[in-house]
Amino acid sequence: MAFQSELEVFRKFLKNQGMRYTPEREAIIKEIFSIHDHFDVDGLYISMRRKGLRVSKASIYRLIPLLIEANLIAEVFFDKGQTYYEHIYGHEHHCHLRCKECKKIEEFSDPRLKDLEKELSERFGYKILTHKLQVIGICSKCQAKEDSA
Amino acid sequence: MAFQSELEVFRKFLKNQGMRYTPEREAIIKEIFSIHDHFDVDGLYISMRRKGLRVSKASIYRLIPLLIEANLIAEVFFDKGQTYYEHIYGHEHHCHLRCKECKKIEEFSDPRLKDLEKELSERFGYKILTHKLQVIGICSKCQAKEDSA
DNA sequence: AGGCTTATTGATACTGAGTTACAATTTCTT
DNA sequence: AAGAAATTGTAACTCAGTATCAATAAGCCT
Ligand SMILES: [Zn+2]
Ligand SMILES: [Zn+2]
Ligand SMILES: [Zn+2]
Ligand SMILES: [Zn+2]
């Protein structure tokens, strides 16, 4: 099966659900898939406005659950009232190492988590869908700052 | 060193910080440590009211960051606008397997996560503080429901 | 024990993310 | 081209969490 673009995948998803493909949805998806980083609704809205793309925040809020349902994006973490997302379509699954002080993020993946998923599935009888591992620490720069303080 | 109760630990923490030990704080902590499960602010508040313990929600909200700072409790997850916490003082660190449908939670721990922490520490130069692993799946009961649907 | 300083409390007002209601508009099917 | 139904933007709303502030109380010092 040939690789399908995010837009194609989403069009099919919408059709399946009896939902409609609109210019607003297209604009938001294009914007999301042009940002190759973690993003939040407010940042997305602001960057769209700056480009003259006028969609309401309500439409963004309404679209996000659909993109999650369609496995195009996923929630990565929630910090201080902000929910952050990232693309997952076409990306290897990965986890996040975050600096508690400066909020810097490192991404990593580890095959042991797949093994663990398998074991949990057998042990508890769950069908495993995904996992989210956040490791929290202090980066080298922030450690240096702390030591000199 | 002998085992110290949560209250003792917290009294020392407060003293260290030049803060005061009040009946309200004591009541909240006792309530929290009598609940051996994940809890949220609203549930805590309601169960205290039912027992005739009158403290304001503001005091609960103000206390929680202190208990986290003192390593007595930790945030476990955030779901649909609710933040859930659990005791960590005197408990082994563990992670959570959650059913997406019915929200049931299984706890588990795995020594491989400690190894992973160590490797990440070396690879990225971080001082690792903790990790939070959430595995999301569908429990056997909910799988059965889905199949028959 | 009494007095003083300063932290804490509860009430209330506020903030900000996310949701909802609804009339106007647009998509999609036939 | 017409009509049913979904989607849009606006504005009102919800609700967790925070900030303000006057009244109160903890802890320290004598
Ligand atoms: Zn840092
Ligand atoms: Zn990421
Ligand atoms: Zn279930
Ligand atoms: Zn737990």
Task: Read off the pLDDT of residues A73-113 as tens digits, 9 standing for 90 and up.
Answer: 999 999 888 999 999 999 999 999 999 988 899 999 999 99
Q: Are residues A138 and A86 in the same domain?
A: no
Residues in chain A with CB shorter than 8 Å from the CB of B100 are: 129
Task: Calculate how close chain B gets to A75, using CA atoms only, in Å.
Answer: 11
Q: Are residues A14 and A31 in the same domain?
A: yes
Q: Are residues B60 and B21 in the same domain?
A: yes
pLDDT band at B2, cuts 50/70/90? Answer: confident
In this structure, the number of other CB atoms found within 10 A of the CB of residue A148 comes to: 6
Cβ pair B88, B71 in contact under 8 A: yes
**To probe the interface with A, which of B78, B117, B124 has the most A CB atoms within 10 Å?**
B124
| CA of residue B54 to ligand 3 center, whole Å | 35
* Count of alpha carbons within 13 angstroms of residue A111, beta-carbon side: 0
Question: How far, in Å, CA of B16 to CA of B29, rounded?
Answer: 18
The CATH number assigned to the domain holding A84 equals: 1.10.10.10
Bases of chain D within 7 A of a CB of the protein: 5-11, 15-20, 25-28
Residues 6+ apart with CB under 8 A from B24: B55, B59
Residues 6+ apart with CB under 8 A from B142: B99, B100, B101, B102
Nearest to A126 by CA among B54, B96, B116: B96
In this predicted structure, what is the pLDDT of residue A23?
98
Q: Are residues B83 and B108 in the same domain?
A: no
- Interface contact flag, B139 A131, Cβ < 8 Å: no
| CA of residue B144 to ligand 3 center, whole Å | 10
Question: Residue A87 is part of which domain span?
Answer: 1-91
Residues in chain B with CB shorter than 8 Å from the CB of A65 are: none
Cβ pair B136, A130 in contact under 8 A: yes
Q: Are residues B98 and B78 in the same domain?
A: no
Q: Are residues B84 and B96 in the same domain?
A: no
Of A91, A107, A122, the one marking the end of a domain is A91
Report the residue of chain B nearest A122, measured CA to CA.
Answer: B140
Tokens 């898939």 label which residue? A33
In this predicted structure, what is the pLDDT of residue A124?
97
Burial profile A48-74: b = 16 or more Cβ within 10 angstroms, e = fewer: beeeeeebeeeebeebbebbeebebbb
Tokens 């993946």 label which residue? A109
Task: Read off the pLDDT of residues A17-73 as tens digits, 9 standing for 90 and up.
Answer: 999 999 999 999 999 999 999 999 999 999 999 999 999 999 999 999 999 999 999
The total domain count for chain B is 2
Q: Are residues B76 and B86 in the same domain?
A: yes
Tokens of A70: 């369609």
Q: Are residues B76 and B133 in the same domain?
A: no
Cβ pair A44, A56 in contact under 8 A: no
